[in-house]
Amino acid sequence: MNKNLKCVKRSSIDTNKREFLIIANQIKNAKDIEDCSNIIVSTIKSSELDYNKITTLFAMYCNKCIGIFLENLEKDIKDEVVPSIIEKIGEDVYSLCNKTIEKVKEIFILKEDGDQVIKYLRKLIKYIIKSFSYNDGYWEREEYIYDCMHLLAKDEFTKKYNLEIPYLYILMWSAISLFSRRKGHDGLKYDKENVSYCLRRLGNVMIQILLGESVCDGNIYIPKIEGKEYLDERIEVKFDGLLPYIKNVENRTKEYKSFKDKIISKEVLLRIPMIPIEVTEGTAEEIKIFLDLVKERNLLLETNEKLKQAKGDLKKAYLNLEALNKKNTAMVRRYSHVWTNILYPDVVLNVAKKLLNSSEYKEDAKKLLFAYNNENMMKQQIKMLELRHSNDSVELKTRFRKSIAKQNDLSNEIVCLDHLINYALERVLFRIFMESSERAMRIRNEFKLVGLDMEKLRVDFEKSIIVNEASCFEWINKNMMEICKLQNESWEMLRIKKNSYASDFLIEVFIEIFINLLTYGSKKSNFKSTLEFDEVRVFNTDYLRLVTSNRIDEGFGTYRGGTEEGIKSLEEVLKMINSNFRGENELKQYIEVNKIENTYSMSILFRRDLFIRGKGYAKLTK
C-alpha cells in the first residue's frame, strides 16, 4: 500500500451519518430487488453526489440482491448443483445492477469524473459477484474478494475521492488474519501494514459496521408538543447482510461436503463472502481493542511526522529570518555609515559660536545651535538604530548604564528630567510652528479655533525659547495649553549624561508623547493634560513609570487613531533594555495605550535599576 497518501480526517459518511443510515435502513428493509433499485436511483437523483456514499450504497445494494436470491432458494438443494446456481445468481445480479447504473448514467455523465464513477461501480459489483460465484473453499473465496479490493484500492479514483469500501474489505481480512486464521504465515507483516493503513482511510461508521455493531445517529429526538409535528425518531441500523462484519462462533461452518472429492459444502457456497466473517479466536471486543490501539499508534506516528515537518519548517523559517536579519542589519549599518559621514554637527557649532559674538547675528546663532543639537542627536540615534537591528540587548543595556551619572557628579554635562522634557517639547513645538506638513497645519488650525494667534505665538516662541532659552514647559502652560506634571523623588534622582543613549531615548519618548498630546489632545482651556512620573513593582522588578493622559475634544480635535508606529518602535527598545540578565521579558508589553470615553492615556515602564542608582519609593509631588 502507498504510505504517502494523506489521511482522511473524517469521512463523508461520518459527516452525513443520519442521511446515510436512513438510506441503509431502507435498503435493508426492502422486500424485493426492484425496491432496492428504486431506492438507489431516487437517492442519486435527489441528493448531492457523494462518490464515497454512492459506492458504499452500491456495494450494499449488490449484496442485498444476492441475499434476496438466496432467500428464495429451495431448502433441499443438493451440494453438487450449487456451483451452477451461484454462477446463475451472479449473472442475474450483475445484469440487474448494471440496469440500475444505466438508469442514473445520465446524471453521472454531467458531473466531474462521471464516466469514471460508472466504470468504478461496474468493477465493484463485478468483484463482489465474482467472489460470490467463486467455487472454492471458505478461505479462498474471502481471499479472492480481498485481492479484488486490493486492485480497487490502487485505483486513482479511490484515492481521489477517499472511497472507503475497498479498505473495509481489506481491513476485515487483515485484522482477522492477525487474530485467528493465519498466524505465522508469510504475509503477517503485510497484514499489520494493511491494518495500520486502512484504519487511516476509514471513518468511525465503517469501523462500527466491521465490528458487527449497530450504528445509530447518536442524537436523541424529543417530540414536539401541542399537536405540532414530531421530529424524526432515532435511527439505528445493523448492517448484517449488507457489508462485511465479524461474527464470533464456536465452530466455523463445515467447509467440505466431501474433502476427498473436493466438493465444497452448500453452506459455504451459499454465503456472501465476508458477510459475515466467522471467527473462533479473538472476540469482536478484543479486535475492537486491538484496532483502537492501532489507531492510537497511527495518531502517535502521524503526530511525530507532523512534529518532524514542523521542526524542519521552523528551521527553514529561522534560516530565512536569520538571512533577512543579516541583510537588514547590513543595510542599516551601510546607511548609518553614510549618514554619519555626512553629518557635521561640530561644524555647525563652530559657526554658531562665531556668530554669537555678533549682536547682529546673535538670534541666527541661537537657531544654528538649535540645529546643532538636532544633528548631534540624530547622529546618536543612528548609532542606536544599529544596536536595535542587531538585537544585541546586552550591548544596548551596557550603553544605557554608561549613560547614567553618579549622584555626586556635578558636571555641566549631566542633565535631569526637566531638561529632557524641555528639550523634547522645544523640538515638537518648533515643528508645529515652522513645518508645512498636514499634521502641523491641522494642529495650528485647531489652536486658532480656540482663539490663539499662532503667528504671534511663533514669534514669541523664537524669541523666548530659541533665543532666550526660557523653559519651554512653562511657556506652553502660559501660552497654549495646561500640562500638569507630577513626579516622585525617584524621578528627581534621575541624572543622565548629555548626548548619551539614555538621554536620547528618553527625549525620543517625550517627543512621541508631546506629538500625540498636541495632535489628539483637546485645545480648549478648560481641559488639562497630565504627566505622572512614579514607580511600580511588577513580578519583583521595580520600574519607573510614566503615565500620560489628555482629554480628546469630540468637536474638532477628534481622536484619529494614528498608526502607532512611533509607539511600536519605542516598545521594541523597551523590550531590549527591560529584559533580565537572560535576555527574557517578564511582561508582554511595556507600553499600554487606552482610550476610555473621551480620555486618551498611555503608560510606559522603564527598568529602574537601569536608570537610577539607589533605592527608595516616594509619594507623588506636584
DSSP 462-524: IIIIIIT---HHHHHHHHT-EEEEEE-HHHHT--EETTSHHHHHHHHHHHHHHHHHHHHB---
Q: What share of the chain is helix, strand, coil (3-state, %, to 5)?
A: 60, 10, 30
HEC letters along 558-603: CCCCCCCHHHHHHHHHHHHHCCCCCCCCCCCCCEEEEEECCEEEEE
Please name the residue that has the C-alpha cell 536569520: 322
**Cα dihedral 203, 204, 207, 209 sign:** negative
Contacts 24+ apart (CB under 8 A), 540-544: 541/580, 541/586, 541/607, 542/607, 542/608, 542/609, 542/615, 543/578, 543/605, 543/606, 543/607, 543/608, 544/490, 544/491, 544/494, 544/605, 544/606, 544/607, 544/608, 544/611, 544/612
Nearest CA-CA partner of 432 in 385, 373, 475: 475
Residue 258 has pLDDT above 90, yes or no: no
Least confident of 248-257, 324-333, 549-558: 324-333
C-alpha span between 26 and 49 (Å, rounded): 19
Reading the block at residue 450, the C-alpha cell is 480656540
C-alpha span between 122 and 598 (Å, rounded): 74
Least confident of 1-10, 356-365, 430-439, 523-532: 1-10
pLDDT of residue 338: 45
Which residue type, as a one-letter code, is found at position 47?
S
- DSSP, res 357: T
User: What band does 339 get if pLDDT is binned at 50, 70 and 90?
Assistant: very low
Q: Classify 89 as helix, strand or coil.
A: helix
Exposed/middle/buried for 539, CB within 10 Å: 0-12, 13-18, 19+? exposed
pTM: 0.51
User: What band does 3 get if pLDDT is binned at 50, 70 and 90?
Assistant: very low
Phi, psi of 600 (to 5 degrees): -105, 130
Nearest CA-CA partner of 458 in 432, 425, 428, 436: 432
pLDDT of residue 165: 94
Give the tens place of pLDDT for each residue, 16-75.
888 899 999 999 999 899 999 999 999 988 877 889 999 999 999 999 999 999 998 888
C-alpha span between 206 and 295 (Å, rounded): 14
Residue 295 has pLDDT above 70, yes or no: no
pLDDT of residue 614: 58
With a pLDDT cut of 70, the percent of the chain lying above it is: 72
| Residues whose CB falls within 8 Å of the CB of residue 66, separated by 6 or more in sequence, listed in order | 89, 90, 93, 128, 129, 132, 272
| Residues whose CB falls within 8 Å of the CB of residue 157, separated by 6 or more in sequence, listed in order | 51, 113, 116, 117, 120, 163
Cβ atoms of residues 269 and 83 within 8 Å: yes
- DSSP, res 404: B
- DSSP, res 177: I
C-alpha span between 101 and 601 (Å, rounded): 73
Exposed/middle/buried for 337, CB within 10 Å: 0-12, 13-18, 19+? exposed
The neighbouring-strand residues paired with 89 are none
Give the tens place of pLDDT for each residue, 138-174.
788 888 999 999 999 999 999 999 999 999 998 888 8
C-alpha span between 283 and 207 (Å, rounded): 15
C-alpha span between 422 and 408 (Å, rounded): 23
Upper half-sphere CA count for residue 128 (Cβ side, 13 Å): 30
Reading the block at residue 163, the C-alpha cell is 472511497
Per-residue pLDDT, averaged over 241-258, amounts to 78
Residue 584 has pLDDT above 80, yes or no: no
Upper half-sphere CA count for residue 570 (Cβ side, 13 Å): 24
Max avg pLDDT among 227-241, 253-267, 535-549: 535-549
- Give all domains of the chain, ordered by start, each with its CATH number: 12-282 (no CATH), 401-611 (3.30.565.10)
The neighbouring-strand residues paired with 392 are none
pLDDT, greater one: 617 or 237: 237
C-alpha span between 252 and 281 (Å, rounded): 11
User: What band does 218 get if pLDDT is binned at 50, 70 and 90?
Assistant: low
Q: Reading across the β-sheet that carries 541-551, which strands appear in turn?
A: 482-487, 528-538, 541-551, 599-607, 591-596
C-alpha span between 452 and 449 (Å, rounded): 7
Chain centroid, CA 288 distance in Å: 34
Cβ atoms of residues 273 and 282 within 8 Å: no
